[in-house]
Amino acid sequence: MINYLQAFHFSESDLDYLEELGYRTDYIDFLRTVYFTGSVRAMKEGEVAFGDAPILRIEAPLIEAQLIETALLNIVNYQTLIATKASRIKQVVGGEQPVSELGTRRAHEFDAALWGTRATYIGGFSSTSNVRAGKRFDLPTSGTHAHSYVQAYQNEYIAFHRYAKSHSNCVSLVDTYDTIKSGVPTAIKVAKELGNNINFEGIRIDSGDLAYLSKEARKLLDQAGFFDTKIYASNDLDEYTIMNLRAQGAKIDAWGVGTKAITAFDQPALGSVYKLVSIEDENGQLRDTIKLSASPEKVTTPGLKKVFRIINNHTKKAEGDYIALANEQPEKEGKLHMFHPVHTHIGKFVTHFTAKDLHENIIDRGTLAYECPHVQEIQSYAEEQLNLLWEEYKRSLNPAEYPVNLSQACWDNKMKNIEKAKKHSQKPVPL
């Protein structure tokens, strides 16, 4: 997003094209002068964002703010979606076991693979098979060999032997013909023959009953003394299959996940929106704006706002998010009333808390005000932020609803704007 905004400009060929589409010359001349001169406050990458809490806030001349809308939504929606999916998978796998990203061949497009891979790493994956992403973002890369490698030799023994000789940390793909009868025993035979010349790191099983095959493979490896050799599994995995395999006692030590992560298979789009909440009038005064809707969650929350994560000082866990008007200072209040923005009778009072402002200054009147961290740091930050949440909010199945509340002033302002807009819309329109 930062790169996009900093480079935001229409080239002469863009302008020629717009002219061909029929845009007026004076508009084209104006577009030639447009750069992004506004300010951005946003959640840091790796921050945990909940529905209703603004991920970012743009203050800019209206034309600039409008021109960047779709690109910003594209960037934020896709990458947030994939990081979330990866994080769900990682939650199930747990801290110890690695998950490698294998999805490039199924990603929706080349760049989606690139940025999606980066997002899976932020969500907790440990490496990727996408070497281009590794180079571009300095991500750890990892991989095994393909079935075609074995098929090319038409002989598992020769294939594993050659592979091991050129890859001292070798993982053999054992399911090309018959995992238990031929793949695993052949990998063991090769490892025994090559002894200390190689590190027989693991085997990978990519088809069949992964629970049964991994248990049988573990037995064979242990019988041969390869207690530290790991079992990798892949094949259309996601958080649900992984949870199920773990419940079945599968002896899997490392996971390869492709299609289901890089495409966020079961929820292929995230619906963040970009809304106008305030606009300067002719006297330079900010006037709040609102969009009404029959669905309460689609009614916008007017005004320049901040979003805070309220962290209980005793439990060190988040009590919820608190959206306040920009001039409020909830961190200075001794007792905070947190109430549901629609069902207002549901609420609580919180004392002894820290109010963490989730928005950082990213761009200040067109100038970069933020130092982008290395992606490794972003991953660690995401993990720390997830640790602030009670488990009840993080389970895959029927998670509890995390509170995202409005301050009293923000709520009152919203109600005032709803009333005003309703009054305005109920005036008869002369035809």
Ligand X SMILES: O=P(O)(O)OC[C@H]1O[C@H](OP(=O)(O)OP(=O)(O)O)[C@H](O)[C@@H]1O
Ligand Y SMILES: O=C(O)c1cccnc1
Ligand Z SMILES: Nc1ncnc2c1ncn2[C@@H]1O[C@H](COP(=O)(O)OP(=O)(O)OP(=O)(O)O)[C@@H](O)[C@H]1O
Binding site for ligand Z (CB under 6 A): 207-211, 235-237, 241, 244-245, 248
Contact 20, 390 (CB under 8 A): no
Segment 84 to 103, residues that bind ligand Y, using CB under 6 A: 102
**Number of chain positions touching ligand Y (CB under 6 A):** 6
* Binding of ligand X by 179 (CB under 6 A): no
Question: Which residue lies nearer to ligand Y by CB, 210 or 406?
Answer: 210
Question: Which residue lies nearer to ligand X by CB, 115 or 149?
Answer: 149
Q: How far apart are CA 65 and CA 302, in angstroms?
A: 16
Question: Which residue lies nearer to ligand X by CB, 236 or 384?
Answer: 236
Residue 255's nearest CA partner among 233, 223, 270 is 233
Question: Which residue lies nearer to ligand X by CB, 149 or 411?
Answer: 149
Q: What is the 3-state secondary structure (H, E, C) of 367-389?
A: EECCCCCCHHHHHHHHHHHHHCC
- For residue 117, the tally of other CB atoms under 10 A from its CB is 31
Residue 130, amino acid: N
Residue 140's nearest CA partner among 163, 106, 117, 123 is 117
Q: How far is CA 412 from CA 285, 364, 380, 418, in A?
A: 20, 29, 38, 10
* Binding of ligand X by 258 (CB under 6 A): yes
Q: How far apart are CA 136 and CA 131, in angstroms?
A: 9
- Least Å distance, CB 102 to ligand Y, is 4
Return the half-sphere exposure (C-beta side, CA atoms, 13 A cut-off) of residue 264.
22
* Binding of ligand X by 239 (CB under 6 A): no
- Least Å distance, CB 208 to ligand Z, is 5
Question: Which residue lies nearer to ligand Y by CB, 70 or 168?
Answer: 168
* Binding of ligand X by 219 (CB under 6 A): no
* Binding of ligand X by 202 (CB under 6 A): no
* Binding of ligand Y by 144 (CB under 6 A): yes
- Least Å distance, CB 106 to ligand X, is 5
Q: How far apart are CA 221 and CA 228, in angstroms?
A: 9
Q: How far apart are CA 169 and CA 13, in angstroms?
A: 50
Q: Which residue is nearest to ligand Y (CB)?
A: 143
- Applying CB under 6 A, which residues contact ligand Y? 102, 129, 143-144, 256, 258
Give contact residues for ligand X (rule: CB under 6 A): 102-103, 105-106, 206, 234-237, 256-260
